[in-house]
Chain A
């Protein structure tokens, strides 16, 4: 897998630049975590506590590992991940699953307390 060499090469030197190449999986197809139809949660776009949060199914299979859905805070992508049970986490709230990507985006805004996100790739 390309993931292997890339992650290996990463070593400990390249900060926050993981772009592992795991293929798209069944995650998108069997998502029941939201009322978003057969292929995952719906898109959203709102202002929450003064920050614009957006979410949408990832285009073209995504540019990072397993990206089936992309979330943005003020235009900067927030790394999110879907758990096997359909819950979601993000890199700024990694150990605390929430029901859907919108909740993950809101949790990120709460956690950020106004700080900007650092792009992860």
Chain B
């Protein structure tokens, strides 16, 4: 059974296996397929048109499935690996062990944002940025550069307290839990973390930075936490909503699963702590 752990608690061996597996997937070309898929949905999801991966109720089940696919790819290389999560309300500075050279490496240098240490630094030759929106082929970050503060626990709790999953118009203008967690409204959780990391994480090709997976694994955990806090609150909308994935509608690009089938994560993995 896959157990997703807080990244801060990983052993040196767990970190090394995770990193080695990412690099193996990168070398095989499979990693970049995930980046490509993500950017395709970023570009295609619009507030007034079809929307699946983002700015819509299916933001959470879509990323849950996307992470599951990625985790299965990791496990095809090393079956002991699980996705760790990054609780950015606790590990909230560039001095966190997350950004140490034995794990993800640190922030970028000021001149060009280039990450200079860790396994994903361009100088290692192991992490070329192929799927990109500009000419730069090296991993970039500017931790805390564009927005100073990561969300606080109190801000997270204020969003977890929202009892309605999502509301019309089911997009970036919605009230409710999903859009506040995604960050288009209110205190801004998920979006702000992308901006705080900077570099590729601020773009449509954000999965180029491995921290993408740890960020989304925590967003996914917050969804699980929310469901436990509000056992009577259903996914919405239930049916008949144009351009939006209803509870029992298949979700692209897989077309073989629905939000309903993804509500309970425990069929696939558990977390190290409630």
Contact = CB atoms under 8 A, between A and B. Distances in A.
Interface of A: 1, 3-4, 7-8, 10-16, 18, 20, 22-23, 25-27, 64-66, 79, 81-85, 91-97, 111-113, 115-118, 120
A94 B44 CA distance: 13
B134 A112 contact: yes
Contacts, number: 131
A7 B253 contact: yes
A84 to B, nearest CB: 4
Interface in B33-89: 33-34, 36-37, 39-40, 42-44, 46-50, 55
A-B interface, 4 closest residue pairs, ranked by CB to CB distance from nearest? A22-B49, A25-B48, A12-B33, A84-B173
A116 B42 CA distance: 20
B248 to A, nearest CB: 17
B250 to A, nearest CB: 11
B240 interface: no
Contacts of A85: 172-173
Contacts of B147: 96
Given A94-B194, A95-B202, A15 B146 contact: no
10 contacts: A7-B40, A12-B37, A13-B33, A15-B39, A16-B131, A18-B44, A25-B49, A66-B49, A118-B132, A118-B133
B202 A81 contact: no
Given A3-B44, A120-B133, A91 B204 contact: yes
A51 to B, nearest CB: 12
B258 interface: no
Contact of B40 (A4, A18, A27): A18
A18 B50 CA distance: 13
Contacts of B40: 7, 10, 14, 18
Given A94-B203, A115-B135, A26 B39 contact: no
A77 B101 CA distance: 37
B37 A94 contact: no
Given A84-B172, A115-B135, A14 B36 contact: yes
Determine the main DSSP class of B at the interface with A: loop
B36 A16 contact: yes
A66 B40 CA distance: 14
Given A3-B50, A20-B44, A92 B36 contact: no
Determine the main DSSP class of A at the interface with B: loop
Contacts of A8: 252-253, 255
B253 A93 contact: no
Contacts of B112: 113
B46 A22 contact: yes
B184 interface: yes
B210 interface: no
A94 B54 CA distance: 11
A10 B37 CA distance: 8
Residue from A8, A15, A25 with most neighbouring chain B CB atoms (10 Å): A15
Contacts of A115: 134-136
Contact of A15 (B36, B55, B192): B36
A96 B255 CA distance: 30
B183 interface: yes
Nearest to A96: B195
B171 interface: yes
A16 B43 CA distance: 9
A26 to B, nearest CB: 6
B237 interface: no
Contact of A18 (B34, B43, B131, B172): B43
A20 B37 CA distance: 13
A7 B52 CA distance: 11
